[in-house]
Amino acid sequence: MNNKIQENNEQLNVLGQKLDLCSCKPLTGWYRDGFCKYDLNDGGNHSICCVMDDNFLKYSKSQGNDLITPMPIYSFPGLKDGDHWCICLDRWRQALLDGLAPKVILESTNRIVLESVSLEILKEYQFNKK
């Protein structure tokens, strides 16, 4: 994949289209602009937009990443079931192996994810908007 395309403003999703917003409430993404944009400086690679569920949130906390507890000092309200959030790609992959991966919003998931996870697997976890 050509990372130069990902480094500029033209960030695409896993479907090859313009990257959609993941969440503004709460505000997510490496840049805290609501998008799961890829950035070389983001060591966690917060590129996969997921719909939080209680099982995943408890799992993440048990793995050392507490996404539930509010942290006002960082303007972080804490996440709850149903919130959308750009999570670390490795955390999603780990949760996948442990049977606890949250649903994925393909339109808001950065195409950089395809370097580690196939589109077929992502589609198995696709969040179906109603």
What tens digit of pLDDT does each residue of 35-50 get? 999 999 999 999 999 9
Judge whether 38 lies within some domain: yes
> To the nearest whole percent, how much of the chain has pLDDT over 90?
88
**Side-by-side strand order, sheet with 103-104:** 84-87, 48-51, 103-104
Domains contained in the chain, number: 1
Question: Which of the four pLDDT bands, split at 50, 70 and 90, describes residue 9?
Answer: low
**Host domain of residue 51:** 3-124
Judge whether 77 lies within some domain: yes
pTM of the model as a whole: 0.90
Instruction: Give the E-state strand segments of 10-122 in sequence order.
Output: 48-51, 84-87, 103-104
Q: What's the CATH code of the domain at 113?
A: 3.30.56.110
Say if strands 103-104 and 48-51 run parallel, antiparallel, or are unpaired. Answer: antiparallel
pLDDT at 7: 45
Return d(Cα 89, Cα 92) in angstroms, integer. 5
Return d(Cα 23, Cα 28) in angstroms, integer. 6
Other CB atoms within a 10 A radius of the CB of residue 112 amount to 23
